[in-house]
């Protein structure tokens, strides 16, 4: 069963890499434009030689094949602009992006689970209405606005936190916390809203189950029933969404990374796209796609942790 899953994972990764390669290949613009300055492009002979060197004249499938062969060996090529190894660049930047994703999702879960459980438990009451209104409000402010507000108060007015930049965890723990907190909170607010809503609605459904009534008939405290009986069956939708969120954050925190000037992966990809750095774009995109696929597989596995009945079926 695990083997079948692994085969499927590899197949998906191949398909993803092929599609990415294909899409980057169809992007408008000649890679030559990115490789050499405009004056040098006048030299037809030099251009032709360069095309040959980079294999740009080979058929598409041949190029994909040779790129894939290198990629499997851990070589995603070098940036055509800066000549850095794409893998080095990813290694350098992924800790920033990953930490941001984990911290923001962790914060969001910490707040959203109690909020969602309470709202579902108190369905229809003032408390539920207030929580739902709060979620609605959080959902409607874009994260960069939150970021700007945070910077204004915490950095400019109070001078508690640096407005921009990043201190690595390996350099200084407190420094790291100071730089991660504002971008993480900016991202977390929207997540809180979404998570609260799904936990609430799943909780409402779970609380209608007979086993909740039977837990109540055993004289257990409501809080115990909510968190030890009802929360797990109410967290399947949440798991799916958190999985998508993690993957999404690895790829797409561009706005927040830009706002706080963080050396993250999203920002690097964006720069590469503007510079027509096709090798960098290709490498980073494939990496992100792989993260997506791997995380989704993890989510599938996590369902089994939550629900023993799924374990048996698969």
Partner 1 sequence: MNTTTAADNVAVDADNSTSPLLVVEDIHTSFMVPGGEVKAVRGVSFELNQGKTLGVVGESGSGKTVLARSVMRLNLGNNVITSGSAKFRGSNILDLRPKAMQKLWGNEIAMVFQDPMTALNPLVKVGRQVTEHVRHHLGISKKEARSLAIDLLNEVRIPEPENRLDSYPHELSGGMRQRICIAIALACEPTLLFADEPTTALDVTVQHQILNLLNREQETREMGMVLVTHDLGVVAGRTDETMVMYAGNVVEKSSTKELFEDMQHPYTEALFRSIPKTNERSHTRLTAIAGRPPDLIAPPSGCSFSPRCPYVQQKCREEEPPLIPVNNGSHFSACWFPVGTEENQEAFRKNVAAGLPQTLVIEETLTKSSEKEDGV
Say how far apart CA 255 and CA 276 lie, in whole Å: 20
In the complex, minimum distance from the CB of residue 136 to partner 1, in angstroms, rounded to a whole number = 23
Residues 102-131 that bind partner 1 (CB under 8 A): 124
> Closest CB to partner 1 among 153 and 211?
211
Residues 238, 192 contacting (CB under 8 angstroms): no
Measured from the CB of residue 211, what is the shortest distance to partner 1 in angstroms? 4
Q: Which is nearer to partner 1, 126 or 309 (CB)?
A: 309
CB of 60 to partner 1, least distance (A): 50
CA-angle at 233, arms to 231 and 235, nearest 5°: 65
Residues ≥6 apart with Cβ < 8 Å to 56: 31, 32, 50, 63
Q: Least distance (Å) from partner 1 to the CB of residue 125?
A: 9
Footprint of partner 1 on 151-210 (CB under 8 A): 209-210
Residue recorded with tokens 């916390």: 177
Of 277-306, binders to partner 1 (CB under 8 A) are: 306
Residue 293's nearest CA partner among 7, 13, 4, 6 is: 13
Complex with partner 1: residue 8 or 221, whichever CB lies closer: 221
Out of 232, 298, 301, 314, the only residue in the binding site for partner 1 (CB under 8 A) is 232
CB 300 within 8 A of CB 2: no
Is residue 218 part of the contact set for partner 1 (CB under 8 A)? yes
Q: Among 13, 98, 111, 220, which residue interacts with partner 1 (rule: CB under 8 A)?
A: 220
Q: Which of 26, 44, 170, 217 binds partner 1 (CB under 8 A)?
A: 217
How many angstroms separate the first and last alpha carbons of the chain? 7
Q: How far is the CB of 210 from partner 1 (least distance, A)?
A: 4
Scanning the chain, the segments in alpha helix (DSSP H) are: 2-26, 31-35, 44-54, 60-72, 86-121, 126-140, 143-150, 173-206, 210-217, 222-224, 236-252, 254-259, 265-274, 278-306, 308-313
Count of residues that interact with partner 1, criterion CB under 8 A: 23
Binding span for partner 1 by CB under 8 A among 88-96, 104-112, 213-221, 240-248 = 213-221
Q: How far apart are CA 209 and CA 224, in angstroms?
A: 16
Of 140 and 214, CB closest to partner 1: 214
CB of 66 to partner 1, least distance (A): 49
In whole angstroms, give the CA distance from residue 236 to residue 143.
Answer: 26
Q: Which of 29, 38, 59, 308 binds partner 1 (CB under 8 A)?
A: 308
Q: Coil, strand, or helix at residue 161?
A: coil
| Chain contacts with partner 1 (rule: CB under 8 A) | 124, 209-211, 213-221, 224, 228-229, 232-233, 306-309, 312
């Amino acid at each position: 069963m695990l083997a079948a899953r692994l085969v499927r994972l590899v197949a998906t990764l191949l398909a993803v890499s092929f599609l990415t390669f294909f899409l980057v290949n169809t992007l408008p613009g000649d890679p030559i434009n990115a490789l050499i300055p405009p004056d040098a492009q006048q030299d037809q002979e030099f251009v032709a030689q360069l095309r040959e060197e980079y294999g740009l004249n080979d058929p598409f499938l041949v190029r994909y094949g040779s790129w894939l062969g290198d990629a499997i060996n851990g070589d995603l090529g070098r940036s055509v602009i800066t000549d850095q190894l794409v893998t080095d660049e990813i290694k350098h930047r992924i800790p920033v992006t990953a930490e941001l994703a984990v911290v923001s999702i962790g914060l969001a879960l910490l707040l959203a689970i109690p909020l969602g459980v309470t709202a579902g438990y108190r369905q229809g009451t003032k408390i539920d209405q207030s929580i739902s209104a709060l979620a609605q409000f959080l959902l409607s402010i874009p994260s960069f606005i939150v970021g700007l507000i945070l910077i204004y108060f915490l950095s400019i007015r109070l001078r508690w936190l640096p407005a921009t930049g990043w201190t690595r965890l390996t350099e200084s723990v407190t420094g790291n916390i100071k730089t991660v907190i504002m971008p993480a909170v900016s991202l977390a607010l929207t997540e809180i809203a979404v998570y609260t809503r799904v936990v609430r609605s799943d909780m409402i459904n779970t609380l209608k189950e007979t086993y909740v009534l039977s837990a109540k008939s055993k004289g257990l405290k409501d809080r115990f029933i909510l968190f030890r009986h009802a929360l797990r069956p109410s967290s399947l939708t949440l798991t799916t969404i958190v999985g998508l969120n993690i993957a999404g954050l690895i790829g797409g925190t561009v706005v927040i990374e830009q706002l706080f000037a963080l050396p993250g992966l999203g920002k690097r990809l964006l720069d590469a796209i503007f510079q027509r750095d096709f090798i960098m774009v290709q490498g980073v995109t494939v990496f992100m796609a792989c993260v997506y696929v791997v995380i989704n597989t993890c989510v599938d596995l996590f369902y089994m942790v939550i629900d023993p009945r799924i374990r048996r079926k698969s």
